[in-house]
Amino acid sequence: MTNAFSPVTLGHLDIKNRLVRSATHEYFGEPDGSLGDRQFEIVEELARNEVGLIISAHACVTKWGRSSPEQNRISEDRFIEGFKRLTEIVHRHDGKFVAQISHAGGKAPSRVNEGRIARSPSGLPLKDQTPTLAFTLDEINEVKEDFIRAALRMKSAGVDGVQIHGAHGYMLSEFVNFVENKRTDDYGGNAMNRVRLIREILEGIKEACGKEFPVLLKINSNTTEDNGRYVEELIEMLKILKDSGLDAVELSGTGFSNLKDVPTPFFLETAAIVRRQVDLPIILVGGTRKIEDVERALEAGIEAVSISRPFISDPDLVARFKRREAARCIHCNQCFVLPKTTGKRCIFEK
């Protein structure tokens, strides 16, 4: 049996154990997009508690693609220093730090982004306007360059790699998913076209930052319609991205906040299918709350397990797992609400 606390190599990225803090929106960023003091404290506590790899909360690659007023940005050089400080904190504790970069796409409300995305004042898509169709080819090329420049800024901050956010309904997720992508040009239609933007961003980052600079991807393992087709095409897409230099993929999914009674880890069955067909390191996220969940994933051939909400309730989760104790997290989803209403992150926080 693979030991959860043994080292692992994910492409060009070596980590000291197989436990990853998945990118987690902390709600404590500053209005201008810079990192807030509380975010440094959160990362310090996680790094001190032996998390092998910490992935940052998603940072927007352009000022027009923020998902919320407190989301961090990496769209200008002035944000580099904050990520340099985060990296230094993690490195002091012998951990690795990967920065997640994103564009919210159709989830970028106009009140946050000065009306640049086709949204109603309530944040809902305009009638008959699919998010991916809202982007012209020039705008797609602009976003592509935004991602590449963001990765270069992160590299200059000393991060151990970047993760492209292609999940959870954000821009790149919209392009990948045939349910949302109704384009008829080179960025729509078959799987090769729908993954084209991610591939071009990946190749651009590798060219700009060096082929050995680790680039990870977060992507959904499921969708809301014709899931069998989606999984088949996901496998095809990941083979394309592996050939373009992708170092590892983190598999997440849709509806994870409502899967309380589903066997854990939530997306293990699909992840195992993908791993058998794609020679690419896989990080699995979703539902892991005890060491047995981690061991089940590792036994299925998954290289590492990523965790979000349990690290909010228990920053010392690695030590708990070593004692074979479960996380206190009860999947109540209050961590989506409490930071904005009380400043707390969890019902267990004193």
The answer for residues whose C-beta is within 8 angstroms of residue 203's C-beta and 6 or more apart is 244, 245
User: CB of 22 within 8 A of CB of 250?
Assistant: yes
46-50, 106-110, 147-151, 288-292 — which is least confidently predicted? Answer: 106-110
Mean pLDDT confidence for 101-117 = 71
Q: Which tens digit of pLDDT belongs to each residue from 154-200?
A: 999 999 999 999 999 899 999 999 998 989 999 999 999 999 999 99
Q: Is the pLDDT of residue 112 over 70?
A: no
pLDDT of residue 120: 31
User: Measuring CA to CA, which residue among 33, 58, 82, 250 is closest to residue 147?
Assistant: 58
The answer for residues whose C-beta is within 8 angstroms of residue 287's C-beta and 6 or more apart is 256, 259, 262, 264, 265, 266, 267, 293
Give the pLDDT band (50/70/90) at residue 114.
Answer: low
pLDDT of residue 175: 94
Give the pLDDT band (50/70/90) at residue 126.
Answer: very low
106-120, 195-209, 254-268, 301-315 — which is least confidently predicted? Answer: 106-120
Cα distance from N-terminal residue to C-terminal residue, the chain: 38
CB burial of residue 48 (10 Å; 0-12, 13-18, 19+): middle
Q: What is the pTM of this model?
A: 0.94
**Helix extents (H) in 258-334:** 268-277, 291-299, 309-313, 317-322
pLDDT of residue 136: 84
pLDDT of residue 131: 58
CA–CA distance, 280 with 263 (Å, rounded to integer): 25
Q: Is the pLDDT of residue 64 over 90?
A: no
pLDDT of residue 134: 73
pLDDT of residue 119: 39
Q: Is the pLDDT of residue 118 over 60?
A: no
pLDDT of residue 264: 83
Give the pLDDT band (50/70/90) at residue 110.
Answer: low
166-170, 186-190, 294-298, 329-333 — which is least confidently predicted? Answer: 329-333
Q: What is the mean pLDDT of the chain?
A: 91
The helix (H) or strand (E) run that includes residue 139 is: helix 137-156
CA–CA distance, 108 with 124 (Å, rounded to integer): 10
pLDDT of residue 123: 39
Q: Is the pLDDT of residue 111 over 80?
A: no
Q: Is the pLDDT of residue 314 over 50?
A: yes
68-72, 105-109, 257-261, 313-317 — which is least confidently predicted? Answer: 257-261
Cα–Cα distances (Å) from 280 to 214, 217, 302, 310, in that order, read 13, 11, 10, 26
Helices (H) and strands (E) in the chain, counts: 13, 12
Q: Which tens digit of pLDDT belongs to each residue from 257-276?
A: 676 667 789 999 999 999 99
pLDDT of residue 77: 98
Classify the C-alpha dihedral 26-28-31-35 as positive or negative.
negative
The answer for residues whose C-beta is within 8 angstroms of residue 9's C-beta and 6 or more apart is 15, 281
Give the pLDDT band (50/70/90) at residue 107.
Answer: confident
CA 238 to chain centre: 16
Cα–Cα distances (Å) from 111 to 116, 119, 135, 157, 209, in that order, read 9, 9, 19, 30, 34
Domains and CATH numbers, the chain: 8-341 (3.20.20.70)
The helix (H) or strand (E) run that includes residue 220 is: strand 215-220
